[in-house]
A and B are shown apart, each in its own frame.
Chain A
Amino acid sequence: MRERNEQQRQRRLAAELARDCDATFERFVLAYQDRIYAFCVSLTKDRGTAQEIAQDVFVRAYAALKTYDTQRICELSLRGWLYQIALNLTKNSRRRKRFDLTAIDDAHDAVSDAKVAHEVEQAELARTIRAAVGRLPVPMRAAVVLRHLNDLPYDEIARITGQPEGTIKSNVHRGMALLRKELVHVNI
C-alpha cells in the first residue's frame, strides 16, 4: 500500500516537473532530501561529504531535467533515479577521497535534542545501529540501506545498483545477518 502511494506520488511529481520544472523543483528537493542525504551519510560516513554529494545529486538532477523532453521526465522513476545519481557520485568521490571508516558523526539526527530518557535511549540505539551499518562492506551496505531506508523492492535496487537481483537479495540477507550478529549485545 505504502509502495503504491509512493509510486503514485512519484508519477504526479514527475508530471509536474515535466510541466514546469523550475516551479516544481523545490518541492521535488523537499520530498527526497532526507532520504538522499541519509543514503549519502550511510555510504560516506561523513556528514559534510554527504551534504556536498546529496546537494550535487539534486543540482545534477536539475541540469538533466532541463535537457529531457516531457515524455522522458514523465517516465522517470524519480526516487530510483536520484539514488542512482547518489550512488555514482559517491563512488566517484570515494575514488578521490578515502572516507573515515571508524564512525559516523551522528551529532545532529532528528532525535538528538530529545529530552525524555526513553527518546535519548532510542537515539543512542539508532546511532549504534547506524554505526554498525556503516561498518558493512560497501556493496552490502548500499543494498541494506536502499532496502531498509525506503523499503525499496529488490528489482528497483537491482536497477539502481546495476547488479542482478539475486546478488542484491544475497547482499541484503548477508548484511542483515552481520548486523544481527554485531547488534546482539544491544538487545534488539
Chain B
Amino acid sequence: MSISDRVGRALRAVRAPQGFADCVLVQAGLADRYAPIESPLGKVFAAYNSRGISYVTQAKNAKAFEREFVGRFGRKVLAAPGVPARLFKKFDLAHLSSFQRAVLLKTMQIPPGEVRPYGWIAAQIGSPKAVRAVGTALARNPVPLLIPCHRVVRGDGMIGDYALGSANKRRILQSEGLRFQKAGPGWRIAAGT
C-alpha cells in the first residue's frame, strides 16, 4: 500500500461522534429535544429548542409523545436527559399568530392562586369582542402548565375547557389553593377563593 493510500485510510478512519447529526438538526431548528418534567399532574413531557420550551403535554410514554409532537409540528424530537433550567421561563411561540402570542403573554401575568375570565384577557389585549377567539387560542396553547392557561375561566365562574381536560384544570387550580363547588354537570370557583 502506498503512503498516499495509508494517509487516506488514516484520515478516513475518523468518524463524527455519535449524535452529531442530531445536534446539527437541533441547532438548525429542524428538531427539538424533550424530557419528562414533574407537574401538578405528575410526569408530563416537555419539548424545547434554542428559543425555549416548545411543547408540553401528557403522553402515555415517550414514543407516544414523539408521535404527537411530529404530528403537530412536523419536525423531529429527540430524547434528552433533562430540560435545561434556564429555559423554563422561555417559550418558543414563533409559529403562533400575533393574536395567539398576545393571549398567551397576557395569561403569563396571572399569578398562581388567581383566575381571570376569558373576557379579561380579550379586553387586556385590546380585542374586547374576541372572547371566543381567546378561548380558542388558550385551547391551542402549546405549553400548558408553564403558560398558565388553566388560570383563565368562564365569566360566570365555571371552570371552562382546558387543553389537557377540565378535570385536570380543576386539579391544577386546587394545587394552587383554589376551591370549587359542584354546579350542575360542571364545577364553579367557590365563593371567597
**Footprint of B on A, CB under 8 Å?**
22, 25-26, 29-30, 33-38, 41-42, 47, 51, 54-56, 58-59, 62-63, 108-111, 123, 125-127, 129-130, 133, 144-145, 148-149, 151, 176, 179-180, 183, 188
Q: Are B20 and A179 in contact (CB under 8 A)?
A: no
Chain A residue contacts of B8, Cβ below 8 A: 148-149, 151
**Footprint of A on B, CB under 8 Å?**
1, 3-4, 6-17, 20-21, 23-25, 27-28, 30, 75-76
Q: Are A110 and B15 in contact (CB under 8 A)?
A: yes
Q: Can you list 26 A-B contacts with CB-CB less than 8 angstroms, sorted by A residue number?
A: A26-B21, A26-B25, A26-B30, A29-B20, A33-B21, A33-B24, A34-B12, A34-B15, A37-B16, A37-B20, A38-B11, A38-B12, A38-B15, A41-B14, A51-B16, A58-B28, A110-B14, A125-B6, A125-B10, A127-B10, A129-B6, A133-B7, A133-B11, A144-B7, A148-B8, A179-B7
Chain B at the A interface: SS class: helix
Q: Are B11 and A59 in contact (CB under 8 A)?
A: no
Q: Which residue of A lies closest to B17 (CB)?
A: A51
Q: What is the distance, in angstroms, from B73's C-beta to the closest C-beta of chain A?
A: 12
Q: Are B24 and A29 in contact (CB under 8 A)?
A: yes
Chain A at the B interface: SS class: helix
Chain B residue contacts of A35, Cβ below 8 A: 12
CA distance A123 to B14 in the complex (A): 11
